Structure 1
Amino acid sequence: MSKRKLTILAGVSLFLLVYVTYGLWIAKDVRTILTIGMQPDSSYDNYMSEQAYHRLNPIRNGMTNSTYTYQSENHHIGPVFLFHFFVVAKTSTKQSFEFQNKSVSFGGTEVVKMTTKLKHGRWYASEIHIAP
C-alpha cells in the first residue's frame, strides 16, 4: 500500500475511534440524565432543562401525584442509540420502571428521544420527547 493510502486509512480509523469513544461518553451521560430525571425532588439544573425534567419526572408529568421512592433496581435503561456532531447529540433509548408510592405501584415502558448539548464538560438535555 502506498504511504498516502496508509495515511488516509489511519486518519479515518482515528476519526472513527474518537467518534465511537465520544458516543460512549454521551450514552453514559444520557443514562445519568434519565436516572436523575426519574428521582423525586432531585437537583437537575446541571443535567437538564426544566422542560426536560418536567417530561421525565413521574410527579411533574402527572404519572403520579404523591412522593415515591426511587429504586435503581426497578429502573432499566436500554441501549442508547445516538447521532452526534461532537457538541450536539440526538439520542433515543427505551426505559422501563416500576416504583412504589405509599401502597400503589406505577410504572411503564417508554421510548425517550433526547437532544443534548455539551455544557460545562457534561451533556445537558435541552429537549425531551417521550412516546409510550
Structure 2
Amino acid sequence: MSITISVLLENRLKPESKNLLRAKAGLSLFIQDENDSILFDTGPDDSFMHNAGLMGVDLTNLTASVLSHGHYDHCGGVPWIPDTCRIICHPMVANERYSAVRFPGYTARIKKLSIHNNFSRFRMEYSSTPLHIN
C-alpha cells in the first residue's frame, strides 16, 4: 500500500513557487492511498483550493476532512470543503479560543484564534481521543 501526502498549504514557499502557489499561516495536507482521499486541515481560507488546483489535486471526492484543532489557520477554509464531505474533529472544534500576552505594566494583547464556521451542512464525526487515519 502506498500513501501520498501533498502539502497544499503552509507558511512558506520555495522561491520558484512564489508566483504561483499561496503561502499562509496554518497547514493543509492532502493524504491519499488506494482507497481514501483525506484533507487534513484547511488553512485559514480558500488558499488550499487554489493551490490544489495548480498542483492537479482533485478535492471533489474526499473521503473525509480531518480538523486537528479549532484555530483559524487550520479550519478557516471549512466553507470551501465540498458539502458531501464528512468532517472528523474534536467535539469542541467550534469553541472560541483566544491568546493573550501580558507583561507587567503593559496592556494585554488579545488575539482571537478561533473562527466561526457553520458545520450544519456536513456529516460530522466527533472524537475526543486521537484517531488513526487509515
Bigger radius of gyration among the two: 1
Considering fraction of residues, name the structure with more helix.
1
Higher strand share goes to which structure? 1
Say whether the fold is shared (TM-score over 0.5): no
Which gives a bigger RCO, structure 1 or 2 (Cα 8 Å, sep 6+)?
Answer: 1
